[in-house]
Structures are given as C-alpha cells and as structure tokens.
Structure 1
C-alpha cells in the first residue's frame, strides 16, 4: 500500500504540543529573532488575516515585497526596511488569469517605528480592510519575551485573553485583556519560559481556545493574532504568531483531524475500514461510495480494509498512517482487488471567495495516460488540454492539484493522451466562487467498461457514513 503525505515547516520560536513534536527554548539572547533593520528605518510587515481571501502580493511604493510573494492566509512577511516617507501600499489578490488590487492605503511611515499591517475582514462580505499596529522599535529586555495580541477574527465576539503559567485555574486569574474585533493590546514583556494562552467569551471562563503549553524563548518579539479557524475542530480561532522573520500557526490543543473514505476498486465488494483493529471508521462502503468526513484524534493509526460481509477477509492489513491535527484527509482504496492500494490524500478545507477550486485525480487503473480538458462548451477539437499525459500512478495518485477557476459553467472532458476520443465527458458543471470541487476518474462498473467519475465536495453532497 502507499501513503502520501505533506509536512509543514514551522518556525522554532515557540512550540505547541499539537503542532511541534518538541520544544525549542533558547535562553541565549543573541540568538533571538529580532528586526535587523537600521534604527532609522521604518519597518513594515504584513499579516494575511482574511479567511476567504486568496494569496496576495504586497506592493509598497510600486515595488513588490519580493521576499514573500503569494502570501497565504495565516502567514506573515518578515520585517521590510524602508526609508521614512508616505507610501502607497497595495494588496493585490492572485486571481485566476490575473491579479487585482483589493486594498490600497497611503500611511506616513516614520523612522525607528514598526508597522504591522493586518489584512482583515472578508472578501466575500466586502469587509476587507487594513488594520495597522504601530510600535516604537526598541530591543527586548534581556531574559524576557515581548508579546502583543490582536483580535483579527471577524466572526468571533468580544473575548477575554488569558496568558498564564501552564494549567493555572482561570478562576484565580484576571484576563490580560478584553478585546473586541480589531482591538489589540500594547506590547507586554514577561520572563522567558512556559506559558498557556486561553481565550474565553468576554466575562466568561468557558475556554474556546487553549494553546496548551508554549515555550517562549528569551529575546523573542511576537505579535500574536487571533484569526478565524478555517481547519478542523470547534474552536472559532487559531493563533498566528508573527516573529519578525516569518510566522507560525498555533491550533487549539484539542484540534482533531478529519478523514473520509472513497471506494474506487471496481472488482471489490463493499468494505469496512477499521482503525487499530478495534474502531470501525466506515461500514459497508460500496464501489464509488464516498463517506462524509469524521473527526478522529490526531495520531498514528493502523488501518485494515476488510470485506463488509466477512471481516475475516482482509484486503489491506495494518497500513500505517499518521493524521495531523487540523488536517483533513481522503483515504481512497484503488487499483484492483488483487493489487489493492490505499492512498491518503491531504485535502484543503479553506474556501476562497474569488474562485472555484477544482482538483481531479486519475484513479482508473484500467485507463492509460489521459489528457484533461476544461472548456465552456465541451468542444475540444481545436483546444489544447489543460492537463496533458496524466498517468495512473501506483506510487501516488496523479492529480491536477487545486486549480482556481472563475465562477461559471464548464465541461470537463477526459481523453486518452494525444487523442480527441472522449473517455469521459461531464456535461455542463456550474462552478461557484467560494466552493471546492473534487473528482476521481475511476474504472467502469465492469471490466472493459468506460471510466467514470466520482464527484465530491461542491459537486454533490457526500453520502452519510
């Protein structure tokens, strides 16, 4: 069997039990992350905190910040040094086919100051705006860590923010701050060490976000933004920590993973998918069946795929997978029953207001390499394929990746590579901005039959478990 996965590098300025397997705590002040710009410069960084916005480019005085093109949600640039002056600063959204200016303002930037510009609000709701947090550039006191907290989650109410020693009872503490949306604290210095950040509705001790234990290194200068949670779990926020060199994201310590299953083995019966020889994740999944996502604890699992009618017939035995907190996965059984494969695919849960996101997989072992056309009317005679020579691969399923398309009507046509012979044609598909669409090309119902599509996400409502 094969498992495909993805790793995300996180800056080692702090750690969370769910994001980092170990902690980095460095008490040597001269190794701390600090702005390296001259004290006379104006120092600018940008935090992408708009949950439904696409990736963006930042343009200052007509010059892109080249260190961080395609800035994604919950990401931040490093400090950018610039001569004091008044500049036009633009945020350009990366849209299908072109970029568009979505936000422009002209602040007066003063020397020896730092400016964190947060792009906040919703593109879809027309509330995108810039929130500027300005501070004087000063060093962090030796042995301390400095932090500033911003409420940048548009759907979250007014909140109390607690920063305490780990496992301190909140009933014995006062909140560090009470913040409404767009509110922020001043810069606060505390001794380096272990801390826990918890967020509650204002006036309540009911915790809606819990960081778990964080190790904060001496000399670190952090801006911590509570942003809208767009991954798994019930917490309304996750924290984006801008370090001066980049950023990292902290999820609630109890954030689960999510997984669904797709049965794409044409000659296999309905199957059960069982974790750790005890937990039935999915029961009686038929060929072309797709389940809804279910929440599971992050961690390592051994997966069995067994015949639904007789669990003693195990076609995949103890396949090892690792599920990461905040991640969403599709487990797809494919190939033939004799050579059955299990692929673990990472899905994206974040929808973008400016485009439809479409991803197509080649999961038909009986079909040779294919060309994939995406057209307005299905006419492909004089059109080049959008994706050419896509194979069925046993190392990892070949896919298009998430492709952003403008909202509209499309026809997806699949042909054997180098031909215009239609193996699959979808008919007209109406794709909406702000939706995610997934399709798997799989074998026909019987040997020799034409391939077909399993359509998921925005195409159709998945079947219940």
Structure 2
C-alpha cells in the first residue's frame, strides 16, 4: 500500500511537471504547489527617479547590487523565520529603507521599495500563501498602490472592449501603501490571454490610467503596482503609471506601463 501511494504521488508530480513545462512554467515548482518548499522572496525597486540600490539580507550584502529602478529579482530561497531586507544607496552604507519578513514554508514573499521621501524609501512586504492547484495553469495577480498622489483607486483587469460602467473592479478601493488581496491572502486567479488594465479613482468610472492591450501568460505571477509618474516630487493628483513585476519572466525586469489614453 505504501508503495502504491508513493507511486501515485510521484506520478502526479511528474504529470504536473509536464503540464507546467508545456504551459511555460514560471517561478513555481511542485514543491511550491504542495506547500513543502522553502520560503522564497523576490525584491522590487519601485522608486521612480530613485538611486540604484544594493540589497542586504540580515545586514549582509546579497548579490543584488547596483540595481536600478524597475529591477525585480527572481524568487530566491530563504530560511524560515525573521529575515531583514534593506535597500542601500548603491556602493554606500546609506540606508533608504528596510523591512523584516517573517517567512513560512511554502509561502512566497515580495519586498517592495517604494517612494517615501526625498531621502528615504517606504519598504513593504507582501505574503502570498501560494495555494495553487497542482495542475492549474492560471495566472496569479495582485495589485499594490504606491501612489501617494492617487490614494484610493479601483483597478480593472478586463478584456479590452469591456464597458467599465457595467462591471465591478477587479481590485476595489486599493489604498495607498496597501495591496489587494491583502498580504497573507492568495492572489486572484485569471486565465492567460489578452487584457486591458484601467484604473479609476475609487468609486468613480473616470479612467486615470489605461494600459491598452496586454498579454497575461499562463502561470504568470503579476504584482501590478501604481506609481506617481513624477516620483517623490509628484504634485499633480492622479498622474500615475504602473510597474508590473512578472514572476514568469526570466529577465525579471519590471514592465513599466504608461497610460495609453
């Protein structure tokens, strides 16, 4: 009986591996999907106009050095427990910001340096429990509002021709410095395909950002982050752009989107 169960689990794992490979894979594997993998972390430089940064973990420089705005790392393994991540101005000891991440087996974490002040960054963390079906090829999507000049927004991820007046937001009332779904909850699942990203002020149907057509791959892991176009010096309300962290992109460069209105 034990051999039969082991063979069944191995067979399912091999089948799931084949399915992931056929669908483009991503930054997840069988261990991630059954919740036994080490915790993993990715870091993101989301400070428009900010300096290049070095990333430190628990006070020690990582190999993520001199990274520019729009940089998104691949997910990397960490040990369970408290992990301190800091962003320093590249090649200096000047710290822009830091955050402690309490990591758990099977979870994925994103640590984002976002606009704070002219001399400092706000650093936030997002915990994704990553409860994904063994054979699922759906993309996972979450939104983050890092725009102090657009402090509550509704975000629509729709087929390109959708009429916003007839639908509810994909992510409702996303507050400044907040993620939806919230940290600790799973990202939402979407089928791969062609989409359009539109953003309005919360409760309004007046579009302040329109991406035009976008391709969302199967098994993608997107964090859609709103940012002030003019960085920390932004003065015009609702003048925003979007930086997308794409967890299935080998280059891992953040995809910056400007409005196509």
The TM tier, using the shorter chain, reads 0.7 to 0.9
Identify the residue that residue 223 of structure 1 maps to in structure 2.
223
Q: Is the 8 A contact 2:65 2:90 kept in 1?
A: no
* Shift, 1:253, TM fit: 4.6
Q: What per-residue deviation string (whole Å, max 9, x for no partner) do you get for residues 223-256 of structure 1?
A: 111122249xx9722222212341332423537x
Identify the residue that residue 56 of structure 1 maps to in structure 2.
53
The alpha-carbon distance between structure 1 residues 139 and 106, as it changes in their structure 2 partners (threshold 3 A), is same
Structure 2: give runs of 5+ residues left out of the alignment.
1-19, 182-186, 232-236
The alpha-carbon distance between structure 1 residues 83 and 72, as it changes in their structure 2 partners (threshold 3 A), is same
Identify the residue that residue 209 of structure 2 maps to in structure 1.
209
| Distance (whole Å) between structure 2 residues aligned to residue 167 and residue 57 of structure 1 | 42
Q: 2:179 aligns with which of 178, 184, 189?
A: 184
* 2:87 equivalent to 1:88: no
| Distance (whole Å) between structure 1 residues aligned to residue 83 and residue 25 of structure 2 | 30
Query: TM-score, normalised on structure 1?
Result: 0.44
The structure that has the greater radius of gyration is 1
* Shift, 1:161, TM fit: 0.8
Q: 1:236 aligns with which of 213, 236, 239?
A: 239
Q: For residue 223 of structure 1, give the secondary structure of its aligned residue in structure 2.
A: strand
Identify the residue that residue 106 of structure 1 maps to in structure 2.
100
Q: For residue 88 of structure 2, give the secondary structure of its aligned residue in structure 1.
A: strand
| Distance (whole Å) between structure 2 residues aligned to residue 106 and residue 86 of structure 1 | 6
Q: 2:260 aligns with which of 249, 254, 261?
A: 254
Q: For residue 171 of structure 1, give the secondary structure of its aligned residue in structure 2.
A: helix
* Shift, 1:123, TM fit: 3.2
Count the aligned residue pairs. 223
Identify the residue that residue 408 of structure 1 maps to in structure 2.
none
Give the helix-richer structure, 1 or 2: 2
Correspondences of 1:320-399 after superposition (within 5 Å): none
The alpha-carbon distance between structure 1 residues 248 and 56, as it changes in their structure 2 partners (threshold 3 A), is same
The alpha-carbon distance between structure 1 residues 86 and 28, as it changes in their structure 2 partners (threshold 3 A), is closer
Q: Is the 8 A contact 1:161 1:200 kept in 2?
A: yes
* 2:125 equivalent to 1:132: yes
* Shift, 1:133, TM fit: 0.6
* Shift, 1:75, TM fit: 2.2
* Shift, 1:78, TM fit: 1.1
Q: 2:75 aligns with which of 64, 74, 79?
A: 79
The alpha-carbon distance between structure 1 residues 89 and 251, as it changes in their structure 2 partners (threshold 3 A), is closer
Q: Is the 8 A contact 1:43 1:82 kept in 2?
A: yes
Q: Is the 8 A contact 1:58 1:89 kept in 2?
A: yes
Identify the residue that residue 160 of structure 1 maps to in structure 2.
154
Correspondences of 1:32-71 after superposition (within 5 Å): 32-35=25-28, 39-66=36-63, 68-71=64-67
| Higher relative contact order, chain-length normalized (CA < 8 Å, sep 6+) | 2
* Shift, 1:199, TM fit: 0.2
* Shift, 1:155, TM fit: 2.1
CA root-mean-square deviation: 2.6
* 2:198 equivalent to 1:198: yes
Identify the residue that residue 364 of structure 1 maps to in structure 2.
none
| Distance (whole Å) between structure 1 residues aligned to residue 102 and residue 57 of structure 2 | 12
Q: Is the 8 A contact 1:29 1:142 kept in 2?
A: no
The alpha-carbon distance between structure 1 residues 146 and 241, as it changes in their structure 2 partners (threshold 3 A), is same
